[in-house]
Structure 1
Amino acid sequence: MDSLLALAADPAAWIALATLMAMEVVLGIDNLIFISIITNKLPPEQQARARRIGIGLALVLRLALLGTVAIIVRLTAPVFEAFGHGFSWRDLILIAGGLFLVWKATKEIHHNVDPPAEGDMFEGRATLTFGSAIAQILLLDLVFSIDSIITAVGMTPHVPIMVIAVVTAVAVMLLAADPLASFIKANPTVVMLALGFLLMIGMTLIAEGFGAHVPKGYVYAAMAFSTLVEALNIFSRRAKRRSA
C-alpha cells in the first residue's frame, strides 16, 4: 500500500500513466476495428455477443500477460539469426500476426470490390460461423495484446500503471464497440477505409518483426488524416442528400 501511495504522489508516474493510456487506447481501437468488421458478418442476433466476447478475451489476454511480464520481456531475446537479423519470439509473433492481418484485409477488400454472385458481404447476410469469428478474433487479440504489453513494459516499470492503462483501454473498446460496428456497417466507404487501416497495420507489424522501426506517430497521423477526409466526404454526401 505504501508503494502505491508513493506512486500516486509521483508526477512522473501520472505522466507515464497518461501517455500509456493514450497508446493503449489507440492500440485498442485498432483491435476493435478488426473485431467490428468480423462480427458484422455474423447473424444480427450474434453480433453484440461476439463483440463482447472478443473484447473480454482482449482484457483477459492483456491481464494474463501482465502477470507474466518477466516472460514477456524475454520474448525480445533473439532465438535465431537469418539474413543478418536476430529474430525473437516477439518478432515471429508480430510477423505471423501481420501476415494474417494483411491476408484477411486483402481478402475482405477483394470480396467487397468484386462480391460473389450471391451478394455483398456487408448486406447483413451471415457469411461466417460464430466459432470461426471468435477464433479469428482470439488470434488477433493475442497479437495486439503482446504488442500492447511490450509497449507498456517499454514505457514504465510499474505494473499498477500498466493495469490501469490496459483496463481503461478495454473499457473504451467496450463503450465504442456497438456504435463503431453500426457506423462501419452503415457506411461502406468507411468499411474500405477500415480495411485499408488493417492492411497498413499488418504491414507495420511485419516491418517491425523484421527489425525495421516504424514510428507509430507517422502511422496514426496518416490514419487520422484519412479519417478526416472520409468524414468530410460523409458530410458532403449528407448535404447533397438533404438538398436533393
Structure 2
Amino acid sequence: MDYLLTLAADPAAWVALATLIAMEVVLGIDNLIFISILTNRLPEDQRSRGRRIGIGLALILRLGLLSTVAIIVQLTAPVFTAFGHGFSWRDLILIAGGLFLVWKATKEIHHSVDPDPGPDMFGSKAGSITFTAAIGQILILDLVFSIDSIITAVGMTEHIPIMVIAVLTAVLVMLLAADPLANFINKNPTIVMLALGFLLMIGMTLIAEGFGAHVPKGYIYAAMAFSALIEGLNMLARRARQRAQGTAGTTTSGSVKSGH
C-alpha cells in the first residue's frame, strides 16, 4: 500500500501513465480494426458477442503477460543468427503475426471484390465464417499485439501498477469503440477496403520489425490518419452529390406536374 501511495504522489508516474495510456490506445487501433472486420462476417446476432469476447481475450492475454514480465523481457534476447541478424522470440512472433495479417487481409480483400470467392481454411465458400473460427483468428492476433504492447510498456516504465492501469484503460476504450467502429465500417464499403489496406501495411511493418528494420510508428499512424481524412472528404463529397441529385429529382418532378 505504501508503494502505491508513493507512486500516486509522484508526478513522473502520472506523466508515464498518461503517455502509456495514449500509446496503448494507439496500438489497440490495429487490433480493433482486425476484430471489427472479422466479426462483421459473422451472423448479425453474433457480432457484438464476438467483439466482446475478442477484446476480453486481449485483456486476459495482456494481464497474463504482465504477470510474466521477466519472461517477456527475455523474449528480446537473440536465440539464433541468420542473414547477419540475431532473431529473438519476439522477432519470430512478429514475423509470424505479420505474415498471418498480410494473408488474412489479402483473403478479406479477395472476398470483398470476388462475387464468388472460393473456400479457405477458416471460412465457407460464401465468405462467411464460424464463430469459433473468428475467435480463434482474433486470439492469434491478440497474442501478437499483446506481446508487442507489453514490451512497449516495459520499455516506458518499470512500475507494474502503471502498466496494469494503462492496459485496463486501453481495453476499456476498445470495448466502447468496438460496436460503433464495426457498424461504421460495415455501412461504408470503401472504408472496408481502406481498413484492409491498413492491415496490410501493419502486417508488413510487423514483418519488417521482425527482421530488424525499425519502422517509426508515427509514420504509420500519420499515413493512416491522412488516408482516413481523404476518405472522409470523399464521403462528404458523395453525400453532397446525393443530396444535389435528390433535390434535382424533386424539382424536376414538381416541374412536370406543374406543366401537366
TM-score computed with the length of structure 1 as normaliser:
0.95
Map residues 39-118 of structure 1 onto 2, 5 A cutoff.
Answer: 39-116=39-116
1:1-244 maps to which residues of 2 (within 5 A)? 1-116=1-116, 127-244=128-245
Q: 2:129 is paired with a residue of what secondary structure?
A: coil
Quote the Cα distance in structure 2 between the aligned partners of 1:169 and 1:240: 38
Q: Name which of structure 1's ranges 107-116 and 82-91 shifts more when overlaid on structure 2.
A: 107-116
Q: 1:98 Cα deviation (Å)? A: 0.3
Deviations 1:170-213 (A, max 9, x none): 00010001101100000000000100110000011000100111
Q: Deviations over 1:51-94 (max 9, x none)?
A: 11000000000000000000000000111110011100000000
Instruction: Give, in whole Å, the separation in 2 of the partners of 1:212 and 1:60.
Output: 30
Bigger Rg over Cα:
2
Amino acid at match of 1:167: L
1: distance between equivalents of 2:127 and 2:96?
Answer: 27
Q: Distance in 2 between matches of 1:161 and 1:182?
A: 32
Stretches of structure 1 that go unaligned for 5 or more consecutive residues are: 119-124
How many residues were matched structurally?
238
Deviation at 1:30?
A: 1.1
Supply the distance in 1 between the matched residues of 2:227 and 2:128 (Cα, whole angstroms): 28
Paired residue secondary structure (1:87): strand
Aligned amino acid, residue 192 of structure 1:
M
* Cα RMSD after superposing both structures: 1.3
**Deviation (angstroms), 1:111:** 2.2
Provide Cα deviations, 1:114-150, integer angstroms capped at 9, x if missing partner. Answer: 33179xxxxxx77001110010000000000000000
| Residue identity (%) | 80
Structure 2 gaps, min length 5 = 119-125, 246-260
Counterpart CA distance in 2 for 1:184 and 1:73 is 36
Q: Deviations over 1:198-244 (max 9, x none)?
A: 00000110001001111101111111111111111111111111222
Note the C-alpha offset of 1:155: 0.6
Alpha-carbon separation, structure 1, partners of 2:16 and 2:8: 12
| Aligned residue in 2 for 1:122 | none
User: Structure 2 counterpart of 1:182, which letter?
Assistant: N
Q: Distance in 1 between matches of 2:189 and 2:81?
A: 44
- Residues 91 and 211, structure 2, Cα contact 8 Å, conserved in 1: yes
Are the aligned partners of 2:111 and 2:117 in contact in 1 as well (CA < 8 Å)? no
Cα displacement (A) at 1:10: 1.4
Letter in 2 for 1:57: L
Q: For 1:148, give the aligned amino acid.
A: S
Note if contact 1:36-1:51 (Cα within 8 Å) is conserved in structure 2: yes
Task: State the SS of the aligned residue for 1:41.
Answer: coil
